[in-house]
């Protein structure tokens, strides 16, 4: 199994200043905060990073900031995906991936391809990628589920497809993947609320949203889960349960940025069409952070 991606990865936010420009100082601080508190790897320019609102130059600058802050301490994964297969392939070919350990590529959204279309999309991406590839299945955002049979077909046919970030909030689908996967294939939870259960059932870990705000406890919870220490790991899960629900109550990443604002790590600014967390949600998150600390 690819040990680089065992444990807790975090889907980094892209902090913005009040004028909506990228706050690189805050981003570097968040990277350091995570590495110093046990996060095992970093995911850059994913959904939580508001990648669809970043232009090409901004994406490059975000990658540079994270790379410089990381200083080679932990593996890095770059989000490159979309619903135009040719454009995704071209982006992979034109991007400097020398500092990256893998690409995270989301299933095509909006187009709603068949399972064969999903297979052919990721086949083309796999053949274009010079580095490892982690599939990303998130039907709540793409409106199309990648069935376990399709994921496992890709896993068996392409050596550089090393794992899937599964974010369908579907326990049965997780278990199907875990039962039938190749030995070295990584089933990574993309659902913070299910992550511990997935790990205890044989999953490799998580790419987390909330983990970047509470990295010491969250990464420790996942490590305990990987060791099969159910009681100890669930004691941490129960401490974090409420805030996991809060951050997805309205939209992601407005919720997690609200947590960061309460922690003093970055502003809660998001780019349209997202809007900041409501006053009611801010109050709940603020109370949780105060009580937690």
Q: Rounded to whole angstroms, how far apart are CA atoms 245 and 249?
A: 6
Contact 80, 90 (CB under 8 A): no
Terminal alpha carbon distance of the chain: 36
Q: Rounded to whole angstroms, how far apart are CA atoms 240 and 218?
A: 8
Query: Cα 157 from chain centroid?
Result: 24
Q: List the beta bridge partners of residue 11.
A: 43
Tell me which residues are annotated as active site. 136, 165
The DSSP code sequence of 134-153 is EEEE-HHHHS----HHHHHH
Q: Which two tokens stand for residue 131?
A: 């580095």
Contact 45, 63 (CB under 8 A): yes
Q: Which two tokens stand for residue 22?
A: 């990228």
Q: Rounded to whole angstroms, how far apart are CA atoms 90 and 83?
A: 13
Q: Which two tokens stand for residue 138?
A: 């998130």
Q: Report CA-CA distances (Å) from 144 to 83, 119, 173, 179, 289.
A: 12, 13, 14, 22, 35
């Amino acid at each position: 199994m690819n040990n680089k991606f065992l444990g807790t990865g975090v889907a980094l936010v892209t902090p913005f200043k009040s004028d909506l420009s990228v706050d690189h100082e805050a981003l570097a601080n968040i990277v350091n905060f995570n590495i110093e508190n046990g996060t095992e790897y970093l995911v850059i320019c994913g959904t939580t990073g508001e990648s669809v609102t970043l232009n090409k130059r901004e994406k490059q600058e975000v990658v540079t900031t994270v790379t410089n802050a990381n200083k080679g301490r932990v593996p890095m994964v770059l989000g490159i995906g979309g619903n135009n297969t040719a454009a995704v392939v071209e982006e992979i070919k034109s991007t400097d991936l020398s500092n990256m350990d893998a690409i995270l590529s989301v299933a095509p959204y909006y187009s709603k391809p068949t399972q064969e279309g999903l297979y052919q999309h990721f086949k083309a991406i796999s053949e274009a990628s010079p580095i490892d590839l982690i599939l990303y299945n998130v039907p709540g955002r793409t409106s199309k589920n990648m069935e376990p049979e399709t994921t496992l077909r890709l896993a068996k046919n392409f050596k550089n497809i090393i794992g899937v970030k599964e974010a369908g909030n579907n326990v049965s689908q997780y278990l199907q993947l875990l039962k039938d996967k190749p030995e070295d294939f990584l089933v990574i939870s993309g659902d913070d609320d299910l992550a511990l259960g997935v790990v205890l059932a044989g999953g490799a870990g998580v790419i987390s949203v909330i983990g970047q705000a509470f990295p010491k406890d969250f990464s420790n919870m996942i490590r305990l889960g990987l060791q099969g220490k159910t009681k100890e790991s669930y004691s941490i899960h129960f401490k974090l349960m409420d805030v996991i629900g809060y951050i997805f109550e309205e939209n992601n990443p407005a919720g997690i940025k609200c947590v960061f604002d309460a922690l003093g790590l970055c502003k809660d600014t998001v780019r349209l069409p997202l809007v900041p967390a409501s006053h009611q949600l801010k109050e709940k998150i603020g109370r949780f952070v105060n009580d937690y600390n």
